[in-house]
Structure 1
Amino acid sequence: MALIEAEFAAENYEKVIQFADSILMDELVSNQPRLHQLRADSYYYLGDIEKSLESYFQAIHAGEQAEVRDELLLTECYSHAGFCYREMGLYQHAFPHYERSLAIAKSINTDIEIAEQYYNLGTLYQYIGDYENSIKMLDSAYQIDLARKDNVAIGFDLSLLSELKAQTGDYQEALYYAKESLDLYESGTGNANSFGTRLNLVSDRFMQLDQLDSTTYYLDQATKEFMKLDDQWRLASCWLDRARLNMKKKQFTQAIVWSQRANDFYSARSNSQFFILSNNIIAEAYMEMQLTDEAIAILEENQKQCEQLGQIKNLRKNYQLQAKVFALSGDQEQADRWTKKHQVLEDSIQSLNNLEQLNRLALQVKFDKLEQENMILTERNELAESDLSEKTNRLNLLTIGGFVTFVLLLSVFFAIRNRLKRKNQLLEEELAVLRTQIKGLLEGDASDLEVDLSKLNHCLTTPLTDREFEILRHAIGDMNNSQIAEKVFVSVNTVKYHLKNIYEKLGVSNRKQALEYVVRTN
């Protein structure tokens, strides 16, 4: 067991799977739950989510049947099964696993895991748009972190609660949480970069409330902090915020100046996402000033960028703005043309989304069947502890039920497969037409970005959270996973999950490559 644990610590995940498979061939081997967990974790880090989920089911089954239950292991396995379902987009299947993990964590009274599961449930509710329950779960995590005096976690909780309140339109409450997060820094928690970020968050909340003087004050303070740090990426973000502020104040010329400044910065660093965003603000400012020719030229430039980089959603937004500017200029024919192009692209995106939903349905059937099989195995093990006659009767009933369930699942599977075939045929015919209409849309790729560690978040499509940034900072130092876990008060497996998400966001596959990435950006 020590050998496989060492290989896992060294991130040799292929070897871990090979060793685990070899050892698990012996059905009487001890530590089955841990072996299945290591196997599941390894598949997860290698990117095979489906096999990872199957192995978590096996770990859960073995753990539930063990003579001496490892409750912490079961907490992690149920939680990580929820992670897998969440990554596959099967959110409703993730809920019971997170809830089971939370129940076990409460039974063993481990505050860190309890807070973690409340957080997981909160983010899951956020994904499905249930902001009320999301806020309730995240507030529960916040209260636990508050009692534990984990100021790093508290600051992250407050920022996320502010974001959720803003999403529900409760901007006053969102401002309250943002200011609480800022006050926490001023009481001695966080780094200088965190201070500027929290100032920026407060300025955003004031802007949402149209309290523009306060917006200006906090935005000025955030800008000063980033200037002290020479953090050009966050400064560029402040320039875009200032442009938005000028738009609200109807200071369109100033909005163009700040947007162009950000535009030049992003263009020099080949950051197409923010380059297109800054161009959109410039185009909208020109439209407000009735300078339609200038707006059209900007949007044509954006269109080329979107088509070269395959940014379909940005292209859809661009078509919408092009229709608007031509209508403003009085050229209704061109306005109608761009409206139709927008609708065609909208339909193509919807078709692709439908295909994705069908694929998720097939996955759901597969894992429903797998969970049912695990339930049958659990029942059979429980029967082994009962009297012989009772065991025989229950086993017969279970076998019949299992057979009926299998037949039903098989019928559902074939029905869904036939349905998928029919829908796929229709989608292929529709997509064949759409491919011609959006030919060349998906050509090209973004260039690699060179940034130092302090600029990392603004180089990424999906920014790192405060907790992920903290763990990355420790990981590129001389700390191993156990030391990181002790430092940030989470379990080793939770550290590994955070690292896996960090690797995906950085586009790397292990700690060494993450370090090389950060060094290279310096």
Structure 2
Amino acid sequence: MAFKFCWLGICLLTIGTANAQNSQSIAQLEQADKVQNSRERITFLLSTKDLQTDSNDSIKAAYYQKLGNAYAQAYSNDTALNHLNQSLQLVGSKPFYLLKGEIYNSMGNTSLTLSATDEAMKYYNAGLEELGDLTTVEAASLKSRLLGNIGGIYNELEQYSKSLEYAQASFQVIEEYKLADRYFFGHLILAFAHSALGNLDQSMEHNLKVLDIILENGDSSYLAYAYKNIASIYHQKQDWKQATKFYLNAKDVAWAVQEYEVYVSCFSNLAEVAEQQGQFKTGIAYAEQGIDAAKKYGLLPKHIEAIKFYYSLLKKSNQTALALSAHEEYMALKDSLFRLETVAQIEEIESKYEKAEQQKEIALLVAQQELTESELSRKQQVQFFLVGASTLAIVILVLIIYNQRQKARLRHEILEGQLNEYRIRLNEMLGKYEGDFSVSLEELNDRLSTPISEREYDVLKMVFTQKTNQEIADELFLSINTVKSHLKNLYDKLGVNNRGEVVKFIASRR
């Protein structure tokens, strides 16, 4: 029974240790999410040995999913897919539906980066299938993302009706579960989908919702884009006044947050609006400001865009000489851009080659690290087994010692009982003299050649009543050695060798 309780205690201790380790691993995963830079997140995740050797498959799978995401954001897509596949294998057929859905979403995003549209679509749909009828807030948030991503693919494929259908399905989930952090993206996706279909009023409605959310949250990073999207719709609707107003708003915000591409682009848009209204002088002024800003910030494509409107406006305002000069500059810039694009393509090819080499090196390092981690994991398992075996051996030894002590105590109690029984029988054999000592010291000394002392006489009476040496010592306030000394003297003076003979001696003298 004691062994069973002890083994139960070991099991509970093991479970408690495992729970503590799981809590620590989850905390590390949450900490990894807070690391903004993808390379730094990779370094952090690779340094967490506990996550890599965790015995909990769901935690280990979540670790590889986050590591895969980090590599994807660092444009190491092959390495990313490798880790995401590891994550998927760990989950297997286990009922980790939400985690599996996240893995498929990450694989879809990575495939989309590699322009593997079919693969991405397959992964997104697999993620939706995993979620099934889950009704948690986390599942709803993931479902809205997956539907939005599928809508984005259909938009790229120019299947705009399908794109709108999935955008609406995504937003329906957002509204049903009141996913506050998803409203911004939900309205943004719907705005793009409606715009692609030419539904300008609906697109405007959602763009204005986006603007309200941005202004409410005080996040100015998207504000310039929101203003520009709204201005673009007014532009298409030929509402020149509102288009000009929102382009100017976008320009001012872009300048404030240093979004210089948007800033320069707004000048070209304003020049185009002025041209369409026949306000050539105003348009020329906007185009010149756009050219100056593009030169200042080194934005060649935006420079070409601004000078194109500048040339058109000069030509329409009959400023022929300036128009020819602007056209020459426009052609020269286009040639320059072509050369830059050619160089960029060469550099991109070289970069892809270098990146492929780096990914090979990273994959090799990862493989070596995983091999080392596997060896460490094996050693840790052996150590854990040895510690467990040692603990179990100690427990068994303690139980054996305890059992032996219990047996020894039982034997002692049995022997004590037998001794008492023998004592009773001896008293019966000697006669009922226990407690009946009537021989005085004088009478006894008259019969002895060597008289006994009063203290020896006291000890003699105690012996006659069958008291032990310790009991005699306690009652007469003597040490046990003094009692033994008195007994030896008594034996010598009475001519006997033990207590039994002492009793017989006294009985024979009665």
Quickly name the TM-score band, shorter chain normalised. 0.5 to 0.7
Correspondent of 1:326 among 308, 311, 317: 311
Residues 117 and 319 (structure 1 numbering): CA distance in 2 closer, same or farther, change over 3 Å? same
Which of 149, 160, 163 matches 1:160? 149
Query: For each residue in 1:235-277, what CA deviation from the matched residue of structure 2 results, as whole angstroms up to 9, or x when unmatched?
Result: 7654322221123234445422321133234435554354334
Write out aligned runs for 1:186-335 (5 A).
Answer: 186-191=175-180, 194-195=182-183, 198-219=186-207, 237-268=225-256, 270-288=258-276, 294-295=282-283, 297-306=285-294, 308-309=296-297, 314-323=299-308, 325-326=310-311, 329=315, 331=324, 332-335=327-330
2:176 & 2:70 partners in 1: Cα distance? 38
Q: Check 1:319–1:243 CA distance in 2 against 1; reply closer, same or farther (3 A cut).
A: same
Q: Taking structure 1 as reference, are residues 290 and 42 closer, same or farther at Cα in structure 2, changes over 3 Å only?
A: closer
Structure 2 residue identity aligned to 1:174: S
Change (3 A) 1:170 1:379: same
Structure 2 unmatched ranges of 5 or more = 1-16, 316-322, 377-510
| Alignment-derived partner of residue 100 in structure 1 | 86
| Corresponding residue for residue 498 of structure 1 | none
Offset of residue 114 of structure 1: 0.4
Q: Does 1:137 align with 2:137?
A: no
Q: 1:143 to 1:315 in 2, by over 3 A?
A: farther
**CA positional deviation for 1:99:** 1.7
Q: Is residue 341 from structure 1 mapped to residue 336 from structure 2 by the alignment? A: yes
1:383-415 per-residue CA deviation (whole Å, 9 max, x = no partner) reads: xxxxxxxxxxxxxxxxxxxxxxxxxxxxxxxxx
Residue identity (%): 15
Q: Structure 1: which amino acid aligns with 2:196?
A: Q
Give me the whole-angstrom Cα distance separating, in 2, the residues matched to 1:376 and 1:195.
44
**Does the C-alpha gap of structure 1 residues 306 and 236 become closer, same or farther in structure 2, counting only changes over 3 Å?**
closer
How does the TM-score come out when normalised to structure 1?
Answer: 0.54
1:183 aligns with 2:172: yes
Aligned partner (choices 59, 74, 83) of residue 60 of structure 2: 74
Of 356, 361, 364, 2:359 maps to: 364
- Which residue matches 1:443? none
> Could you list the runs of 5+ residues in structure 1 that have no partner in the other structure?
12-36, 382-522
- Between structure 1 and structure 2, the one with the greater Rg is 2
- Between 98-107 and 293-302, the greater mean CA deviation after superposition: 293-302
What's 2:318 paired with? none
The Cα of 1:117 is off from its aligned counterpart by 0.4
Give the deviation of 1:217 after TM superposition. 4.5
Amino acid at match of 1:283: A
Q: Deviations over 1:114-155 (max 9, x none)?
A: 011011101101111222322332233234445222333333
| Secondary structure of the corresponding residue to residue 187 of structure 1 | helix
Question: C-alpha distance in 2, partners of 1:170/1:300?
Answer: 39
The CA RMSD measured in Å over matched residues stands at 4.7
**2:41–2:70 CA contact under 8 A, matched in 1:** yes
Q: Does the 8 Å CA contact 2:147/2:170 hold for their aligned counterparts?
A: yes
SS at match of 1:148: coil
Residues 25-64 of structure 1 mapped to structure 2, 5 A cutoff: 47-48=39-40, 63=53
Secondary structure of 2:271 counterpart: helix
Larger deviation, residues 109-118 vs 339-348:
339-348
> In structure 2, what is the Cα distance between the partners aligned to 1:117 and 1:320?
42
Residue 163 of structure 2 aligns with an amino acid whose one-letter code is: A
CA separation of 1:176 and 1:212: change in aligned 2, threshold 3 A = same
- Residues 1:10 and 1:171: Cα distance change in structure 2 (over 3 Å): closer
> Structure 1 residue aligned with 2:76, among 81, 90, 106?
90
Following superposition, the deviation at residue 210 of structure 1 comes to 1.0
1:6 Cα deviation after fit = 11
- Of residues 168-177 and 319-328 in structure 1, the stretch that sits farther from structure 2 once superposed is 319-328
**Which residue in 2 is equivalent to 1:391?**
none
Q: Which has the higher contact order (CA 8 A, sep 6+)?
A: 1
Distance across 2 between alignment mates of 1:205 and 1:73: 37
CA contact (8 A) 2:290 2:306 kept: no
Does the CA-based 8 Å contact 2:151-2:167 persist in structure 1? yes
Q: Provide the secondary structure at the position in 2 that maps to 1:107.
A: coil
Classify 1:72/1:82 alpha carbon distance in 2 versus 1 (closer, same or farther; 3 Å). Answer: same
- Would the aligned equivalents of 1:41 and 1:52 in 2 still touch at CA under 8 Å? no
TM-score normalised by length of structure 2: 0.55
Alpha-carbon distance between aligned partners in 1 of 2:220 and 2:42, rounded to the nearest angstrom: 41
Q: How does 1:458-473 map to 2 (within 5 A)?
A: none
